[in-house]
Structures are given as C-alpha cells and as structure tokens.
Chains A and B, each alone.
Chain A
Amino acid sequence: MNYGILSIVILYQLLTILGVAYYLMQKHRLYKGEKDSFTHAGHGLSVPAIAMTLALTVLGAVHIIGVFEKTWVLGAGVIWFSFASVILLCVVCLATGRWVRRLGIATVPELLERGYGLETRLTVSCVMIGSIFGIITLEAQGLGVLLFSMTGWSIPVGGAVGAGLGILYVIFAGMREISWLNIINAVVMYIALILAVIFIGFALPGNGYETAAQVHRDAGNARLLNPFGDVGVIFAFGIPIVIAIVFSQSTSQMLLQTAMSAKTEKTLLRSMWIAAPVNGMFAVLATLLALAAMSVPEFAELGSKVATTEMLVSLLPPWLSGLLLAAFAGVILSTFAMTALASSTLFATDIYKRLYRPDATDAQVTWATRIMIVILGSISAVLAGFMPPILSGVAWLLAWLTPVFWVVIFGLFWKRNQPVAITALIVSWILNSAWTFTPLPEWVGLVGVHNAYVTFLTGLVIMVVGILFFGGRPGMMKDETLIQQRPAAMSQAE
C-alpha cells in the first residue's frame, strides 16, 4: 500500500475543501437573503468560475479511466472524446446555456412546464434525476478505482471515501463552493499534468516520447499516433461520441445549472474561450501518458486498466505522483459534486417545492437540496461496487437525455404540443432500455449501434411527425411574455 501518496491526495482534498468552505462561511453575511444562493450562487458567477465549472463538470472519471483504457484500442483517436466535449461546451456557452440564462429558470424541467405543461416537467425531472444519479454512481466508482490503484482498498471502500469527500465538496456553500474549488483544482490539475508529461518524457527509455513513437511505428501501429490516422476509428468512435455527448448533455441540468448561475449572457460567451481548451487539452495530455505506458513492455504487460497509473506511480517522484493523483481525484470529485447538486436541485425545485410545498422559503429549499445531496451521495457510494464498468454504463445513461434535446429545441423555436412531447420521450426511453437489456439490436441487425443514435432519431422522428400532424402552440422564443418571466434576482445580478 502506498500510504504516502494516499495521504497527499486526502490531505490536499481536505485542506482545499475545508479552506474554501471556511472562507465562504466567513463571507456568509454578504450572501444573506440572496435568491437561489446555494443552488445558483445568486445567478452572479464570473467568467473564471463559470469557465472552470463548465470545464470540470464534463471532465470526470470517464476522461481519466476511460481515456487510459481506450487508448489501448484507439490510440490518439481517443482524443475525439475531447473534440466532442469541446463542441458540447461551445453549444452550451453560445446557445442552450444562453437561452436558459435568458429565460430566468432554475431547472430545465421548469422551462418545460412553461412551454408544455406540468406533466412534461415532472416526467423529464424524474428521468433526469435518475440519469444524473447514474453518473454520480459512476463517478463514485471512478474514485473507488483511483483509490484502489493507490491503496489496494476494495472499490466499495474507495467509493465510500470518495463519496464522503464529494459530499463535502458541495454541502457547505453549494454552487459557490464548487466553483471556487474548481478554479483551484483546474490550476493544480494543469500544473501537475504538464509536469507529469515532462517528467515522463525524461524518464522513458531512450529519447523519451520519440522512442515511444518509434516503438509503436515498429510494431506497425503508426495509426495510433494521430487522432485522424484511422478513418475506421473516426466513423466507429469519433462521430458517434460527438453525437452522443453533444445531444445528451447540451440540455442536461448538469451543465445548464452552471449556465443559469452566470452573471450575464456575456459571461457565458467569454467563458467558452477558457472552458473549451481547459477541458479539451486534458484528454490530449492523458492520451500521451497512456501511449507512453503502452510503449514500455514492463507496464504494457499489466494491461490497459492499470498500466498508465502504475507507470505514473513508478516513474514520477512521489510528490508529483501524489499531486497528479490528487488532481485526478479533484477532477472526479468536481463532477461528483456538480451532478449531486444538479439532481438534488431538480428534486428540491421540481418535486418538493412544486408539488408539495409551493410556499417553501429559499432556506427550506436549500435544506431539502442539502439533504438530497447527502442521500444521493451516500446511496451512490453503496451502489458503486455493484455498477457495471464505467464505460459501458455511460452509453445507456447518456441516451436517456438525448430526446429531451428535441423537446427543448422544438419547444423554444418551433411548436409546443405536450402529448407529442411525452410520447416522443416515453417511446425513446423504452427503446433505450430495450436496446441495452434485450436482443433487439440483433433482431433488427444493428448490433454495435450506440443507444444515443436510437433515442436521438426516435425523438426527432416522433416530434417532427407529431407536430406536422397535430400542430401546436408557437415556440417559446416567439412568445415575449414567456421570455420576460424572469425572477427579480436575475435582473439584479445584471
């Protein structure tokens, strides 16, 4: 067991989390009476806070464990994962995030009630909570795997420790706490990652990365060294991952809650220039490390799952491998915390307040959110050990939110028809589960087709055909009265 590195990781996380929490508690009076203070930081976050939170929310366990593992098969083609996240962040900063910021809503389902009706709001809210909760459990599992690689702890024990840290990451001051910690973690992450890439370059046998590249070329794997080197990878992985990520996440509460917290729309526009490269370059540097590990037989023989982590722990000085793994833990914790906050906000706003306590004060909604964060975070820790491996879980989870994209876009810009929207959602969701849990793909001869394609096309076809046949009310962006229903807090923030 590597207790030295483990203690660096845990100490770093505890010091930053408790330090930021203490600082924000000291400033508590400044935020007293502020609307949506816990869940949306009073809709007043600045460019660095928004940029880093957007960047780190879509940078989680899949980026670390998934990239290390997939590089074995796809080589630098795995960087398409980065391109997909960059496109997603551009869409959120320039389009969907801007729209929800303008409409002054607290949750995506709230937008759907305004456009369609209460039934659509509740249907989407319940499924979105479930889908985002699934991502929390995968992040807990990711933390478990990371701590397992350092300590040999079982994944459930590592997941429980990680979930505890993840709850602390958000529980004290909500969105404001997450954004402060994300700024710190993004800076530390890049310092550690760049130093690691440089150190590994010197520690590799021969002429560093050049020798590693030669090993791949000699083995007839030159295609592994170029993100565009293999057309098959682009069609089988690159384009599907772009569609899956962009259409499932651009209308998810997980990212849009951060966009709703921006001070102004221009804050979002400027954030794109920081968020996209900060997010995108992470997987590029991680891929370099994985390609290096693959070229050294001593590590390559350990297999795709542990080779890269093992190389980092073996070749880097202990202080740097500790710092790097602390940064990796921070990356996973930031996603854990944001997903926990997003799903708890959905519950507290769309279910607790909307259905049961319409007269609830902001303080009561904040406590309902906090309680849900603890409940969902704790359950995720328990489930982490039983969940399927991270990569196979993500495909099914993301596909749940893909049809919501069409319901939001059509409702904003074309026509709104509640029965058509609910039919499109329910049929897509049934097909998504049938695609994963029954032999349906074999029956229709489409084995290997990503779930997101299925829900994406089903949602689109039902929405288009349904609206053409049955019509609907004009889109929300065409209705000035809907756009002008903005909470007072947002007007003040601007």
Chain B
Amino acid sequence: MAWSIILTSLSVILGIMVVAQILYLLFGGKETQGDDT
C-alpha cells in the first residue's frame, strides 16, 4: 500500500510540474529571460 500510494502521488506531482513548465515555456519563457540577469 505504502509504495503504491507514494509512487502514484509522486508521479502526479512531477507530471503537474512538467506540464506547468511546458506551459511556461510556451507562453512566458521569452519575457523572463529579458528581465533576469
């Protein structure tokens, strides 16, 4: 039980972060580079 719950949740959390990062690169990536030094 423990491993199955831990691994399922960890995969979902990583999935959310990857999707968020892709959305950021698609819609917000360019503007940030200009502002960050």
A interface residue numbers (CB < 8 A to B): 76, 79, 82-83, 86-87, 90-91, 94-95, 98, 102, 197, 201, 208-210, 212-213, 225-228, 264-266, 269, 272-273, 276-277, 280-281, 284-285, 287-288, 291, 494
Contact = CB atoms under 8 A, between A and B. Distances in A.
A266 B28 CA distance: 12
Interface string B1-37: 1101110111011101100110110001000100111
A209 B1 contact: yes
A264 B17 contact: no
Nearest to A276: B17
28 contacts: A82-B13, A86-B17, A90-B20, A95-B24, A95-B28, A201-B2, A208-B2, A209-B1, A210-B1, A212-B1, A225-B1, A225-B5, A226-B4, A227-B5, A227-B9, A227-B12, A264-B35, A264-B36, A264-B37, A272-B17, A273-B17, A276-B16, A280-B9, A284-B6, A284-B10, A285-B6, A288-B5, A291-B5
Given A94-B21, A280-B13, 17 more contacts: A86-B16, A86-B17, A91-B20, A94-B28, A95-B24, A98-B28, A209-B1, A209-B2, A225-B5, A227-B9, A265-B32, A266-B32, A273-B17, A276-B13, A276-B17, A281-B6, A285-B6
B22 to A, nearest CB: 10
B23 to A, nearest CB: 8
Contacts of A87: 16, 20
Nearest to B9: A284
Contacts of A210: 1
A287 B10 CA distance: 14
Contacts of B23: 94
A273 B4 CA distance: 22
Of all A-B residue pairs in the complex, the 8 with the closest CB atoms, nearest first, are A213-B1, A90-B20, A209-B2, A94-B24, A280-B13, A284-B9, A266-B36, A209-B1
Contacts of B4: 225-226
A277 B13 contact: yes
A94 B17 CA distance: 10
A400 to B, nearest CB: 26
Interface of B: 1-2, 4-6, 8-10, 12-14, 16-17, 20-21, 23-24, 28, 32, 35-37
A90 to B, nearest CB: 4
Nearest to A269: B32
Nearest to A94: B24
Contacts of A209: 1-2
Contacts of B28: 94-95, 98
B18 to A, nearest CB: 10
A287 B12 CA distance: 16
B17 to A, nearest CB: 5
A477 to B, nearest CB: 9
Nearest to A266: B36
A269 to B, nearest CB: 7
Nearest to A273: B17
A268 B23 CA distance: 16
B13 A76 contact: no
Contacts of A94: 20-21, 23-24, 28
B10 A281 contact: yes
A103 to B, nearest CB: 11
Nearest to B1: A213
A284 B5 contact: yes
A451 B22 CA distance: 31
A285 B1 CA distance: 12
Contact of A226 (B8, B14, B21): B8
A91 B6 CA distance: 23
A288 B4 CA distance: 11
Contacts of B37: 264, 494
A197 B2 contact: yes
Given A98-B32, A209-B2, A272 B13 contact: no
Contacts of B9: 79, 82, 227, 280-281, 284
A25 B35 CA distance: 33
Contacts of B6: 281, 284-285, 288
Given A197-B2, A225-B5, A284-B6, A83 B12 contact: yes
A44 to B, nearest CB: 14
A288 B13 CA distance: 17
A212 B1 CA distance: 8
B25 to A, nearest CB: 9
Nearest to B7: A284
Contact of A281 (B2, B13, B24, B35): B13
Contacts of A95: 24, 28
Nearest to A285: B6
Nearest to A216: B1
